[in-house]
Amino acid sequence: MSIFKGKLPRFRLVSLGLLAVFLVTLLVAGCGGGDGANKNAVSDKPVLTFADVSWDSVKVHNRIAGFIIEHGFGYPECQYTFGDSLPTLQGLGKGSIDIYMEVWADNYREAWVMMLTDGTVEDLGANFPDAPQGWYVPTYMIKGDSERGIKPVAPDLKSVTDLPRYRELFADPEAPGKGRFHNSPPGWKVTDYNQDKINAYGLNKNFNVFSTGSDTALATSMVAAYEKGKPWLGYYWEPTWVMGKLDMTLLEEPEYDQAAWDKNKGCAYPSAEVLIGINSKLEERAPEIAAFLKNYATSLEQNNDFLAYMSDNDGKADAAAIYFLKKYPEVWKSWIPEDVAAKVDKALEEVK
């Protein structure tokens, strides 16, 4: 990577003597005595690299941690390497990536366990509690919303087993006599799982499974119904910006059971582990950063909150990270020493 931004400057011809002195100076400055290639020209601390995978929440977490690492611990500007989940995870094992702020372990369990076993990566614990997924309805259907003049139309709706009593509320205009269940997009594994659940719960007699076509269309259908104060039933997950903006209730299902899941998916979805992973060498290269990341922990509500903010601010992860740091100082200050926190506070004061 070039150290220059934009066009390279032009130099006048110099004498061989001056050129030799210049080259020697560069060589001395560039040699760090080991892993100098990954050292900053000013600081002897390494440039740390995050896995900047495709979903929004991990990008925000990367920049929350990156801001603290740069301004609190005095490290060089962090790098954010974009890529798909599995390739970047493999990069974590090989050392081209230092930090992976959201390892969804169940999505690539075999690869993750293999790297843990061979000692190339470390599990620093959960970033946030188990990420839920399942069937949601607007909370105002159950509790009402006095500010919007909405009365509760399904006060006893708590579980998927209660749905047959309320099918008329979810009437599907394309399937007279049935309610509409908004499914996830075609091609997703959970789309088939939701159909299996409908059958396992005997709801295929009462509900039509409606394909929304895309994740955007699924979210749009929910938001459109919510803004009108109408009933809505469908699959969704957390953390997401939608759940940060809307008050939705996750319907209860029978507790997750492996035998029931294997048989017909007739139980709740298994809990999802969302872990912070690091390349094992980070413990030696940047021990204070590894210690900081071991303390790093957020809540589901905080994630939904900053994702909603991100959605309202042109999808900028940097802005959402600053929003989190300014709104939840009591959270992130518990992760780091007081002197480091003071430096982060000072840096935040300069951010408008």
- Give pLDDT tens digits for 134-178: 999 999 999 999 999 999 999 999 999 999 999 999 999 999 899
Using the Cα atoms of residue 323, residue 325, residue 326 and residue 331 in order, give the sign of their dihedral.
positive
pLDDT at 182: 97
> What φ, ψ does residue 256 adopt, rounded to 5°?
-55, 130
Residue 104 has pLDDT above 60, yes or no: yes
pLDDT at 204: 94
- Give pLDDT tens digits for 190-201: 899 999 999 999
- What are the residue ranges of helices labelled H in the chain? 16-30, 56-67, 85-94, 109-118, 140-143, 189-200, 215-228, 241-245, 258-264, 282-285, 287-295, 300-312, 317-327, 329-332, 338-349
Residue 82 CB coordination number (10 Å): 11
What are the distances in angstroms from CA 182 to CA 57, 191, 193, 226?
24, 10, 13, 14
111-147: b or e for each residue (b if 16 or more CB lie within 10 Å)? ebeebbeeebbbebebbbbebbbbbbbbebbbebeee
pTM for this prediction: 0.78
What are the distances in angstroms from CA 337 to CA 75, 162, 341?
16, 50, 6
- Give pLDDT tens digits for 298-346: 999 999 999 999 998 888 999 999 999 999 999 999 999 999 999 999 9
Q: Can you tell me the mean pLDDT for 67-90?
A: 92
CA 88 to chain centre: 15
241 in helix, strand or coil?
helix
* The two three-digit tokens of residue 148, written as one number: 């919007």
Q: Can you tell me the mean pLDDT for 282-311?
A: 95
20 vs 11: CA distance, rounded Å: 15
Residue 217 has pLDDT above 80, yes or no: yes
Confidence of residue 7 (pLDDT cuts 50, 70, 90): very low
Unique residue bearing structure tokens 């066009």: 7
